[in-house]
A = this chain, B = another copy of it.
Amino acid sequence: MVHTGACIANLLGQGGSRKYHLTWNWLRYFKNDRDRRDLITCGSAAGVAAAFRAPVGGVLFALEEAASWWRSALLWRTFFTTAVVAVVLRALIEFCRSGKCGLFGQGGLIMFDLSSTIPTYTAQDVVAIIVLGIIGGVFGGLFNFLLDRILRAYSIINERGPPFKILLTITISIITSACSYGLPWLAPCTPCPVDAPEECPTIGRSGNFKNFQCPPGHYNGLASLFFNTNDDAIRNLFSSGTEKEFHMSTLFVFFTAIYCLGLVTYGIAVPSGLFIPVILAGATYGRIVGTLLGPISDLDPGLFALLGAASFLGGTMRMTVSVCVILLELTNDLHMLPLVMLVLLISKTIADSFNKGVYDQIVVMKGLPFMEAHAEPFMRHLVAGDVVSGPLISFSGVEKVGNIVHALRITGHNGFPVVDEPPVSEAPELVGLVLRSHLLVLLKGKNFMKEKVKTSGSFVLRRFGAFEFAKPGSGKGLKIEDLDFTDDELEMYVDLHPITNTSPYTVVETMSLAKAAVLFRALGLRHLLVVPKTPGRPPIVGILTRHDFMHEHIHGLFPNLGKSH
């Protein structure tokens, strides 16, 4: 759902899909990086809000996990988005309450209502909960570690082609089905409680006590967990006053199965999430601890299940505020807030000492150029001039078409510095930065000159519309291979001044790399020009891109850096 929300937002940000004739003219206002990023953030917030029926949690999820670059305007926009989601969702639930839309109309905005339990706890309970948090953190860290390994293995398999992908998916599906159907046979049958609030055993599609292979009047605990929707299974685990509902062995088997299935399922070629498996495993774990600690603690196993889910979420996702609010919104149980916060604190701290959060791990593994919010410690020992990449390609203010075409063909750089040289200026002088996409639009216009002279720049206004230089949708931009030039054209000149950004952000080459990284990150830049410290040298030393700040790049340049510290 989160992904779906972000995808829809990205599609809107690209001005709709031209392929499917889904374009709106007003969407062109989103044709720039910043608005598109904001839109995607709002989309993921809307996704969380809709999936968990937790609007405030959605805002916080977007804040804590999705947005790499936070502005106060964004807070208001995501709030607006999720408020609309909440109102629409509420109206649809109201509309569907009579069962018109399947299971959707069941339950209100609150999925797992726990408000019946009484919240008093003693110091003993708090100690028990701290232990729960610590073990939950360890399990969460272990989950991340194992997931990382499994995803690496999967990526090797997936790279071998679609047949392998499908085979892997089928294998995992068969294992999942076998576990779900096979394991309940091992579970003992339990006689139905005499004062059961619901029908027992149920044979329909949704309900608490599943009959499975058991004789009438008995239910199979493991089947009750496996053969339910995930929502119902979580509700079963969270339910209070049902200390005896599940056997210890049942819970152990279910925990192991869900923990392992959650691990192996995530990386396959099926859109699956991490949130629900982690909540399920955590809730089972919490219930196990709650049952074990029954003699010591007076708290209900249902509450332990909630706290167990919190500890697993804290241990894997490493989100605190948003998990807290999402759990709050899922369970409507404010009294537990201090305990949930305590558990999250502990499990996140414990797990942080092992490895990074699961989303960070996935981002690193997919090789996405995601910059850390903070500068890495080793960056303090380097200066910006140390890491500028490769040979610098720069253009003159009025450049020969052939040079530009050649540069665009041989490199993949997205930005080039423009330097005015005599006779255009008195001394070599940095004009600014020109973007590849703008160069391509300019070249396509073929407004070339025979002489190397600076123009007034007015031809750009005459020749091009206001939105031709706007950012195109992904994969839809011009490519240098699409453009053809005659030999005459390649010998002509084009004035780059009108399309040059004359005040790009710059740093001096002696600036600490950590400081440059903070600047780069805080402003959400794509290019950062490095200028020389002393006058009299060429006016530009190099360009820093996101790639230059990455761990791998820097360690490639300075292999001994990590070792000396």
Contacts and interface: CB of A to CB of B under 8 A. Distances in A.
Nearest to A325: B56
B373 A71 contact: yes
A518 interface: yes
Most chain B CB within a 10 A radius of its CB, from A71, A90, A328, A426: A90
Given A79-B320, A79-B341, A334 B325 contact: no
Interface string A527-541: 000000111100100
Interface in A330-360: 332, 334-335, 337-338, 341-342, 344-345, 348
A55 interface: yes
Contacts of A507: 503, 505-506
A2 B278 CA distance: 36
Contacts of A75: 63-64, 320-321
A211 to B, nearest CB: 34
Contacts of A119: 108
A284 to B, nearest CB: 25
A60 B70 CA distance: 14
A515 interface: yes
B502 A510 contact: yes
Contact of A55 (B79, B335, B341): B341
A73 B373 contact: yes
Given A75-B63, A325-B325, A337 B503 contact: no
A344 B75 CA distance: 14
Given A76-B320, A115-B115, A523-B522, A55 B338 contact: yes
A248 interface: no
A38 B165 CA distance: 48
A71 B63 CA distance: 11
A309 interface: no
Interface string A302-329: 0000000000000000001100110011
Interface stretch (A21-29, A80-88, A235-243, A549-557): A80-88
A503 B522 contact: no
Nearest to A420: B534
Nearest to A72: B373
A534 B427 contact: yes
A59 interface: yes
A519 B523 contact: yes
Interface string A283-301: 0000000000000000000
Nearest to A518: B523
Contacts of A325: 56, 325
Nearest to A342: B87
A79 B518 contact: no
Interface in A479-533: 502-503, 505-508, 510-512, 515, 518-519, 522-523, 533
A422 to B, nearest CB: 12
A332 B110 CA distance: 12
Interface in A85-118: 86-87, 89-90, 94, 108-110, 115
A533 to B, nearest CB: 7
Most chain B CB within a 10 A radius of its CB, from A321, A534, A536: A321
A78 B306 CA distance: 23
Contact of A341 (B60, B87, B328, B337): B87
A245 interface: no
Contacts of A79: 320-321, 324, 341, 344-345
Given A342-B83, A503-B507, A329 B320 contact: no
Contacts of A505: 507, 515, 519
B55 A337 contact: yes
Given A56-B324, A115-B115, A373-B72, A508 B515 contact: no
10 contacts: A60-B321, A79-B341, A83-B338, A86-B341, A87-B341, A115-B115, A430-B533, A502-B510, A503-B515, A518-B523
Interface of A: 55-56, 59-60, 63-64, 70-73, 75-76, 79-80, 82-83, 86-87, 89-90, 94, 108-110, 115, 119-120, 320-321, 324-325, 328-329, 332, 334-335, 337-338, 341-342, 344-345, 348, 373-374, 383, 425-430, 502-503, 505-508, 510-512, 515, 518-519, 522-523, 533-536, 539
